[in-house]
Amino acid sequence: MVAKNLKLLVATALVISLAACGSESTASNSEPDPQSTGAFPTSGSGELHLYNWTDYIDPAEIARFTDETGIEVILDTFDSNETLLAKLQSGSTGYDVIVPSDYMVQQMVELNLIQNIGVKDFPNAKNIKPEAMNVIFDKGRNYTAPYMYGTTGIICNPIAEPKCKDMKSWHDFFTFNLAKTDVLKDQVEVVSAALRAVGVPANDLCTTDKSKYLAAQELLSRFKPAVIESDGSIERVLGGISNVRQNWNGDSHRMKVENPDLVYIYPSEGVNLWSDQFAVPVGAPNLDNAKIFINWMMDPKNIAKETNFTGYDNSIIGSSDYFDPSLKNDPAVNVPAEYLPLLSPIPNCGQEARDLYTQVFTSWTTEQ
């Protein structure tokens, strides 16, 4: 039952991805770069520079990886795909492994920012679930390996703010204007939710119809959250600084473990389903260590520890055998069947729509 739901969730994403791909370009299927071919590295030493989302990897697992491999991990963090992209575009970063989301992978391939490392030939690539193998942003898995995936909904503290219990939709979220409302600092998440709230359907979230963005902008201009921030949500919600928040499901799960009164809401207009990926920037100084790290993370026991830490599901076969029971019992993580039709992949838009997202988000955050 549980496994079936999780499988359905990913399958739903893939079916919709394939259906939605249309004229969007897709990552190429070319052979690995000559410099990255050869036998798989078996032992390590030296360093690995990891650039990851904030609070998105278990420090104890980093330590265990170092014990097992001799590779020291130096961690730096970011708060959005756009921050990650800007960092990579600013020039040589020294990072060996980065963690972009699905839609950003495709942009990074097109911009020649990440390299074809031939993930499909890694020893643990056999553990990737079939439905996560032939993904639209990296067909056949050359550039990326799966890390966590999840959804973006609303977390509500109904004891501290009884009115958030009545929120059924993104429209409610943006118009109730409750005190202590908190929102992601993420242009794709905020603008796509606002577009949904003004009636744009999931399969049209990359529209270039300016009237839709004007409607979203008008809605947003009357929305005054107390906090616009992606990081630190767990502390704010558990500490009573925020009572209602646009939130990722894994962070929501971690909050719910501490405060079972919290409710994760699946807004009726639809919910973004995203998946984060390991990738290696062009020019990474420690390519072998990057491969060893990514392969280590595709071991079911190792990735299960990350799921248990982050609260998000993953796409590695056999890892759910090691999941904490709290994950399987939480509707924020194990999506109830009735909500599955609401999920659609986070939009991977062309440049024109991306620019419109940026315009709406920038003018809204500037006027706050």
Residues that bind ligand N2P (CB under 6 A): 53-56, 101, 248, 251, 274, 276
Residue 166 vs 258, nearer CB to ligand N2P: 258
Q: Please, what is the minimum distance in Å from the beta carbon of residue 30 to ligand N2P?
A: 27
Q: Please, what is the minimum distance in Å from the beta carbon of residue 175 to ligand N2P?
A: 25
Residue 47 vs 229, nearer CB to ligand N2P: 229
Q: Please, what is the minimum distance in Å from the beta carbon of residue 23 to ligand N2P?
A: 26
Residue 54 vs 92, nearer CB to ligand N2P: 54
Amino acid (1-letter code) at residue 49: H
Residue 251 vs 288, nearer CB to ligand N2P: 251
Please give the structure tokens belonging to residue 83: 């921050």
Distance in angstroms (rounded) separating the CA atoms of residues 356 and 344: 20
Residue 33 vs 231, nearer CB to ligand N2P: 231
DSSP-derived secondary structure for 161-215:
-GGGGG--SHHHHHHS--TTEEE---HHHHHHHHHHHTT--GGGTT---HHHHHH
DSSP-derived secondary structure for 259-313:
-TT-EEE--TT-EEEEEEEEB-BTT-TTHHHHHHHHHHHTSHHHHHHHHHHH--E
Specify whether the CB–CB gap between 332 and 265 falls below 8 A.
Answer: no
Residue 44 vs 311, nearer CB to ligand N2P: 311
Residue 161 vs 276, nearer CB to ligand N2P: 276
Question: 125, 84, 128, 146: which is closest to 281 by C-alpha?
Answer: 84
Q: Is 21 exposed, middle or buried (0-12, 13-18, 19+ CB in 10 A)?
A: middle
Residue 170 vs 274, nearer CB to ligand N2P: 274
Q: In sequence order, what are the residues at sequence separation of 6 or more whose Cβ sits closer than 8 angstroms to the Cβ of residue 181?
A: 173, 225, 226, 227, 242, 243, 244, 245
Q: Please, what is the minimum distance in Å from the beta carbon of residue 314 to ligand N2P?
A: 13
Quick count: other Cβ atoms within 10 Å of Cβ 351? 9
Residue with the shortest CB distance to ligand N2P: 53
Q: Please, what is the minimum distance in Å from the beta carbon of residue 54 to ligand N2P?
A: 5
Please give the structure tokens belonging to residue 132: 């996560």
- What are the φ and ψ backbone dihedral angles of 24, each rounded to 5 degrees? -60, 145
Residue 167 vs 188, nearer CB to ligand N2P: 188
Q: Please, what is the minimum distance in Å from the beta carbon of residue 10 to ligand N2P?
A: 15
- What are the φ and ψ backbone dihedral angles of 298, each rounded to 5 degrees? -90, 10
Q: Please, what is the minimum distance in Å from the beta carbon of residue 150 to ligand N2P?
A: 7
Q: Dihedral (C-alpha) 345, 325, 145, 135: value to the nearest 10 degrees?
A: -30
Q: Please, what is the minimum distance in Å from the beta carbon of residue 275 to ligand N2P?
A: 8
